[in-house]
Amino acid sequence: MAHKDDAPQAVPDTPGTRRHGDGVRRRRPLRQRHVEETVEVAVPVRTAYNQWTQFKTFPRFSTVVHGVEQIRPTMTAWTIGYGPLRHRFAVEIVEQDPDAYLAWRGLEQHPSHQGEVEFRPTASGGTAITVRMLLEPRGAARILTRSSRATRLTARSVRGELMNFKRFIEGLGQEGGAWRGTIRNGRVQHDHPEPPRSRVAQWPVG
Amino acid sequence: MQNPPGEEPETTLSVTPPKKWAAGVPAVVHALEYSLEQTSPRKTGVDLLAMNQVGGIDCPGCAWADPAPSRRHRNEYCENGAKHINDEATTRRITADFFREHSVADLAARSDMWLNQQGRLTEPMIKRPGSEHYEPISWNDVLGVFAQELKALDSPDEAVFYTSGRASNEAAFVLQLFARAFGTNNLPDCSNMCHESSGFALSETLGTGKGTVSLTDLHHADLIFLVGQNPGSNHPRQLSALEEAKRNGCRIVAVNPLPEAGLRRFKNPQKASGVLGRGTQIADRFLHIKPGGDLALFQALNLLLLEAEDAAPGSVLDHDFIDAHTTGFEEFARHVRTVDWDDVRTATGLTRAEIEKVRDEVLDSERVIVCWAMGITQHKHGVPTVREIVNFLMLRGNLGRAGTGACPVRGHSNVQGDRTMGIWEQMPDTFLDALQKEFGFDPPRPHGLDSVDSIKAMREGRVKVFLALAGNFVRAAPDSEATEEAMRSCRLTAHISTKLNRSHTVCGDTALILPTLGRTERDVQADGEQFVTVENSMSEVHTSQGRLEPASPLLLSEVAILCRLARRTVNGKADIPWDMFEGDYGTIRDRISRIVPGFHDFNARVTRPGGFQLPNPVNEGVFNNKVGKAVFTSNERVVPRAPEGHLLLQTLRSHDQWNTIPYTDNDRYRGIHGSRHVVLVNPADLTELGLAQGDHVDLVSVWGDGSERRAENFEVVPYPAAKGSAAAYYPETNVLVPLDSVADISNQPTSKGIIVRLEPVLDRTQPATA
């Protein structure tokens, strides 16, 4: 949340976004990267993207993620942890382009985090997946994670998760579902007059 | 456990200062005290530990959403929910002897509280024409009486089928199917009297009749408005969500004519800080608004946002959203720019500086939610006010993004689900076509009667049979005298009920009591133990399954009663397997899944832990209205005014009350003890009116139809109500709400903003002097 001393900000300007030449506001690539890791997977981009965006399946391959609740396309709640420790946080997906890109930000203020995932086809027909994450811990956690060692640990963890995903999707060979929608600035965009999830009772409720 | 009261308890009014915080240890103590008065410690424990748990009992108390299954507390209920569920689980029983002892006239003279305290109904009863007493009747015969009366009608439209929001999805679906197979769309419901204005305004502007937020949105909003609602008494579990939002840095603006305790501070009894500490401050800013001034407030806020945009173009409004997803902005902006600050001051009682501070809060916030309840919808201009709230949200794109949205806070636990199931007198052809295809009959197409129009039709003799699925229609409806006259005009009134209430005592020539299972009780049918489903205020559909043995072996479930009534009345008219429906509620859900959009795989999805959430099209970027876009509206200014010497009255519930039923005469948050016949008035108004604390007055409402509506002998209590306003308890003051006084467009009775005068009561024991 902004402070009173700040100049008024237009609501749609979610942090790290800018307007492109085509008039569409898209997320600016993270500059201040805490972590960047890339892995190549031997499945087509569409397959990798479709599986990645089935967030509820993350616990099937991840050693850190214990549960994901998909509240709606733009909002998820994640439970992560090591051993007996658990932490739950909500995440907003602010940008999503099928087969190309996904950006998120945490909705908690402490600690805050944001990140992005890029999907690029490789010459061999596979997919290069790049994850960039920026963590902004507060208080004691900020002091503890200030060292480069903490950054390396985070990077190692992200790399480990990417390797887990690689084994998962390469083993499965094909995705277990798909959501092909587009998200811009935290809002679902639709190019279909009646997307399936809009087919609900429309009459007034008293 | 205590025996029911034999006579009305005599109590006197005492007044203490209003509380500055809600819940805490006293909430636990009061809940347990009441529960143990009603039932055994074992039953209390079984009920409470199953309440709002996965696979447990959905609290019938309110429609607030449950946390995700993994985040629920072992004790996931509030004081009012605990009281309500144990009020139903009471060990007190009403038998045939009770009705032999008490005539209908005797019962009609009793208070709502006394009637409720007598306990659970245990067997079908009938009051025959000319008789003064209810008497026992077998289920077979009572169904026969009902079927005979329905078949004797000249037209199906001479019957009305009312639904209370406590009814399950399955019972509601069966009821509307029964009514339509019989041949009428006369399906009034309690929605007509609570959030009808929200439904109409949201459907018109956003193409959805439901709220757009989830609990996670609330937890992560930057700014939440609580407008015309009292969460401390009417939806206490909302306070936990607000507490979490505050912990995440949210600020809260409360807008209300009364500074309610629950808007000020919340002591969460499940946390050490709530038991031992000061709890959580809820409202960071309180706007002490006059009743009905909310439309003017949001218009003023919208003007200030437009002016902020003028001063710093491109920095305030969400042009991307407005350009791509809305229509009507230019006309709206032109209209709002004509706002007159003098009118705003008169309508709201707020200064421009106060409203500008709220604007600053809005500009500082990326994610904004507006919650509202009946303090908005029950005004004549309830629909335009909700529309203006939507305008406000749209200006900065506070729709369809995480942590933003519109949140109408509903009361009855399944009031939203019943409407989803087709309990509406104006259902669209798409729904009726689906019924026709599924069951092979032609549902009637002309619109039916809502609650207000049903009362008018009964009074005029156009409706002769009234069936109520739960509820207490006589006390929930406005203009009590007119409503009672309407009920007494019927040939037959029938109520499917768990407990006795005034609607059983103000009845037609023939009256039937059809006793039914409560939510807390096991429901065993031919196919085995059943569960039912409900939909909460945030569109989550989940199961509810009772744990206790039924209050009587003669009780039938709501679904069973309706299926048997239908079988006796419309059997053979359509291809509807009433027997199968009664024996296995899963077969009803199968049909719902084919008829109601969004309920595909209903049986499979609803049994997942926590059930499933119906998507809201707005959050999918879809506006399902006529234009396919969100609509900015231009709403005529309204400045509620009371003539000199008069006040604007709002009716409200006490803290110790569930809908029409008070549990005690106390309202401890407001410092009222021992009486409900009080009127809360601003001290400055009392001085102007020449009244003082303890004076007794009649409340007389002003309405131009020549009828005098009078609520007699209320004691005056000085209270920080907004200047020019008064407050008194519902349903005692429903008598003051004229039947014709309804909200524009929605036809919802206006239980807020009633113009009243306070007439001092002369000592009635002394002869009047000339």
Q: In what order do the strands lie in the sheet with B612-613?
A: B532-535, B540-544, B612-613
DSSP state for residue B395 in the 8-state scheme: H
Binary contact (A200, B314; C-beta < 8 A):
no
Binary contact (A12, B321; C-beta < 8 A):
yes
Helix B139-151 vs helix B558-570: angle between axes, to the nearest 10 degrees? 50
Look at residue B284 and tell me if it is in a domain: yes
Q: How far is A181 from A191, CA to CA, in rounded Å?
A: 9
- Helix ranges, B71-228 (H): 79-88, 96-101, 104-108, 112-117, 139-151, 169-182, 191-194, 196-206, 215-219
How many angstroms separate the CA of residue A121 from the nearest CA in chain B?
Answer: 29
Is it the case that residue B185 has pLDDT exceeding 80? Answer: yes
Chain B CA closest to residue A8: B363
Q: How far is B646 from A111, CA to CA, in rounded Å?
A: 55
| Mutation site for A-interface testing, chosen from B320, B416, B618, B748 by largest number of A Cβ within 10 Å | B320
CATH code at B130? 3.40.50.740
Query: For residue B241, what pLDDT is reported?
Result: 96
pLDDT level of residue A7 (50, 70, 90 thresholds): very low
Cβ contacts (< 8 Å) between B198 and chain A: which residues?
205-206
Cβ contacts (< 8 Å) between B196 and chain A: which residues?
204, 206
The three-class DSSP label of residue A183 is strand
Query: For residue A28, what pLDDT is reported?
Result: 52
- Mean pLDDT over B733-755 rounds to 97
Binary contact (B192, A206; C-beta < 8 A):
yes
How many angstroms separate the CA of residue A1 from the nearest CA in chain B?
Answer: 6
Q: Peptide bond preceding B577: is omega within 30 degrees of 0, i.e. cis?
A: no
Residue B229 CB partners (closer than 8 Å, separation 6+): B235, B256, B371, B372, B373, B374, B375, B409
Binary contact (A201, B596; C-beta < 8 A):
yes
Of A182, A180, A134, A131, nearest to A26 (Cα)? Answer: A182
Copy the structure tokens of residue B659.
């809908």
Chain B CA closest to residue A198: B617
B392 touches chain A (CB under 8 A): no
The phi and psi torsions of B490 (rounded to 5 degrees) equal -75, 155
Contact B339, B636 (CB under 8 A): no
Query: For residue A139, what pLDDT is reported?
Result: 66
CA distances, B611 to each of B341, B391, B418, B543 (Å)? 48, 33, 17, 7
How many angstroms separate the CA of residue A39 from the nearest CA in chain B?
Answer: 30
Note the pLDDT tens digit of each residue in B437-452: 999 999 999 999 999 9
Q: How far is B557 from B199, CA to CA, in rounded Å?
A: 30
B657 touches chain A (CB under 8 A): no
Q: Peptide bond preceding B257: is omega within 30 degrees of 0, i.e. cis?
A: no
Is it the case that residue A12 has pLDDT exceeding 60? Answer: no
Q: For residue A15, how many C-alpha atoms fall within 13 Å in the half-sphere facing its CB?
A: 16
- Mean pLDDT over B82-99 rounds to 94
Copy the structure tokens of residue A100.
């190309």
How many angstroms separate the CA of residue A40 from the nearest CA in chain B?
Answer: 32
DSSP state for residue B670 in the 8-state scheme: G
Query: For residue A4, what pLDDT is reported?
Result: 39
Note the pLDDT tens digit of each residue in B256-313: 999 999 999 999 998 888 888 999 999 999 999 999 999 999 999 999 999 999 999 9
Chain A CA closest to residue B216: A90
**Could you tell me what percent of chain B has a pLDDT over 70?**
99
Query: For residue B272, what pLDDT is reported?
Result: 87
- The greatest distance separating any two alpha carbons of chain B, rounded to the nearest whole angstrom, comes to 76
Binary contact (A202, B208; C-beta < 8 A):
yes
Query: For residue A150, what pLDDT is reported?
Result: 73
Query: For residue B525, what pLDDT is reported?
Result: 97
**Could you tell me what percent of chain B has a pLDDT over 90?**
91
Is it the case that residue B628 has pLDDT exceeding 80? Answer: yes
What part of B 474-513 touches A (C-beta under 8 Å)? none
Same domain, B136 and B245: no
Binary contact (B194, A195; C-beta < 8 A):
no
Look at residue B637 and tell me if it is in a domain: no
Q: Which of A186, A198, A203 sits opposite B617 (nearest CB)?
A: A198
Contact A35, B344 (CB under 8 A): no
- Domain span holding position B740: 647-760
pLDDT level of residue B102 (50, 70, 90 thresholds): very high
Contact B115, B94 (CB under 8 A): no
Query: For residue A108, what pLDDT is reported?
Result: 86
CA distances, A57 to each of A62, A69, A70 (Å)? 9, 10, 11
Query: For residue B762, what pLDDT is reported?
Result: 76
Decide: residue A30, CB within 10 A, 0-12 exposed, 13-18 middle, 19+ buried: middle
> A with B: how many residue pairs have Cβ under 8 Å apart?
180
DSSP for B192-239 reads HHHTHHHHHHHHHHHS-SS----HHHHHT-SEEEEES--HHHH-TTHH
Of B117, B120, B121, B122, nearest to B34 (Cα)? Answer: B117
| Mutation site for B-interface testing, chosen from A11, A71, A184 by largest number of B Cβ within 10 Å | A11
Chain B CA closest to residue A73: B620
Note the pLDDT tens digit of each residue in B217-227: 999 999 999 99
Domain ranges of chain A: 34-53+93-175
Q: How far is B489 from B484, CA to CA, in rounded Å?
A: 9
* Mean pLDDT across chain B: 95
Higher pLDDT, B185 or A143: B185
Q: How far is B755 from B57, CA to CA, in rounded Å?
A: 42
Binary contact (B616, A189; C-beta < 8 A):
no
Is it the case that residue A19 has pLDDT exceeding 60? Answer: no
Same domain, B355 and B242: yes
Dihedral in degrees, nearest 10, Cα atoms B235, B236, B239, B240 = -110
Contact B176, B597 (CB under 8 A): no
Dihedral in degrees, nearest 10, Cα atoms B449, B452, B454, B460 = -130
Last residue within a domain, chosen from B350, B374, B408: B408
Query: For residue B689, what pLDDT is reported?
Result: 97
Query: For residue B412, what pLDDT is reported?
Result: 87
CATH code at B732? 2.40.40.20
Is it the case that residue A138 has pLDDT exceeding 80? Answer: no
Last residue within a domain, chosen from B369, B388, B408: B408
Is it the case that residue A205 has pLDDT exceeding 90? Answer: no
What part of B 132-191 touches A (C-beta under 8 Å)? 189-191
The three-class DSSP label of residue A76 is strand
| Mutation site for A-interface testing, chosen from B216, B361, B424 by largest number of A Cβ within 10 Å | B216
pLDDT level of residue B702 (50, 70, 90 thresholds): very high
Instruction: Indicate the range of A134-143, B122-131, B478-487 predicted with least confidence.
Output: A134-143
CATH code at B250? 3.40.228.10
* pTM as predicted: 0.94
Cβ contacts (< 8 Å) between A89 and chain B: which residues?
none
B429 touches chain A (CB under 8 A): no
The three-class DSSP label of residue A40 is strand
- Helix ranges, B460-515 (H): 473-476, 480-488, 502-505
Contact A133, A80 (CB under 8 A): no
Class of domain A34-53+93-175: alpha beta
Is it the case that residue A206 has pLDDT exceeding 80? Answer: no
Binary contact (B431, A67; C-beta < 8 A):
no
Cβ contacts (< 8 Å) between B420 and chain A: which residues?
201, 205
How many angstroms separate the CA of residue A142 from the nearest CA in chain B?
Answer: 18
Cβ contacts (< 8 Å) between A75 and chain B: which residues?
214, 216-217, 402
Is it the case that residue A21 has pLDDT exceeding 60? Answer: no
The three-class DSSP label of residue B647 is strand
Is it the case that residue B767 has pLDDT exceeding 70? Answer: no
Instruction: Indicate the range of A150-154, B39-43, B208-212, B715-719 predicted with least confidence.
Output: A150-154
Look at residue B231 and tell me if it is in a domain: yes
Residue whose structure tokens are 């850190």: A64
CA distances, A168 to each of A44, A51, A56, A82, A116 (Å)? 14, 10, 14, 20, 20
CA distances, B533 to each of B63, B153, B488, B581, B604 (Å)? 13, 33, 34, 14, 12
Helix or strand run (H / E) with residue B49: helix B41-50
Binary contact (A2, B366; C-beta < 8 A):
yes
Query: For residue A146, what pLDDT is reported?
Result: 63
Is it the case that residue A16 has pLDDT exceeding 60? Answer: no
Q: How many domains does chain B have?
A: 3
Instruction: Indicate the range of B4-13, B42-51, B471-480 predicted with least confidence.
Output: B4-13
Look at residue B638 and tell me if it is in a domain: no
Binary contact (B214, A198; C-beta < 8 A):
no
The three-class DSSP label of residue B311 is helix
Query: Is residue A30 left, alpha or beta, with left meaning phi > 0 and alpha meaning psi from -120 to 50?
Result: beta
Cβ contacts (< 8 Å) between B428 and chain A: which residues?
202-203
Query: For residue B643, what pLDDT is reported?
Result: 95
B614 touches chain A (CB under 8 A): yes
Same domain, B284 and B187: no
Binary contact (B365, A1; C-beta < 8 A):
yes
Helix or strand run (H / E) with residue B240: helix B238-247
Q: How far is B725 from B75, CA to CA, in rounded Å?
A: 38
Q: How far is B561 from B568, CA to CA, in rounded Å?
A: 11
Note the pLDDT tens digit of each residue in B504-529: 999 999 999 999 999 999 999 999 99
Last residue within a domain, chosen from B408, B433, B465: B408
| Mutation site for A-interface testing, chosen from B212, B620, B625 by largest number of A Cβ within 10 Å | B620
Note the pLDDT tens digit of each residue in A58-116: 999 999 999 999 999 999 999 999 889 999 999 999 999 999 999 999 998 776 889 99
Look at residue B582 and tell me if it is in a domain: yes
Is it the case that residue B717 has pLDDT exceeding 70? Answer: yes
- Mean pLDDT over B539-552 rounds to 96
Same domain, B355 and B433: no
How many angstroms separate the CA of residue A195 from the nearest CA in chain B?
Answer: 8
Is it the case that residue A2 has pLDDT exceeding 50? Answer: no
In whole angstroms, what separates CA A43 from the centre of its chain?
A: 20
Binary contact (A8, B312; C-beta < 8 A):
yes
pLDDT level of residue B389 (50, 70, 90 thresholds): very high
Look at residue B709 and tell me if it is in a domain: yes
How many angstroms separate the CA of residue A156 from the nearest CA in chain B?
Answer: 29
Residue A83 CB partners (closer than 8 Å, separation 6+): none
pLDDT level of residue B43 (50, 70, 90 thresholds): confident
B584 touches chain A (CB under 8 A): no
Look at residue B173 and tell me if it is in a domain: yes
pLDDT level of residue B764 (50, 70, 90 thresholds): low
ipTM of this complex: 0.85
Contact B431, B595 (CB under 8 A): yes
Query: For residue A38, what pLDDT is reported?
Result: 96
**Could you tell me what percent of chain A has a pLDDT over 70?**
77
Is it the case that residue A8 has pLDDT exceeding 70? Answer: no
Residue whose structure tokens are 């209908």: B104
Copy the structure tokens of residue B752.
């807020």
Query: For residue B768, what pLDDT is reported?
Result: 41
Of B733, B729, B675, nearest to B709 (Cα)? Answer: B733
Contact B239, B23 (CB under 8 A): yes
Same domain, B257 and B222: yes
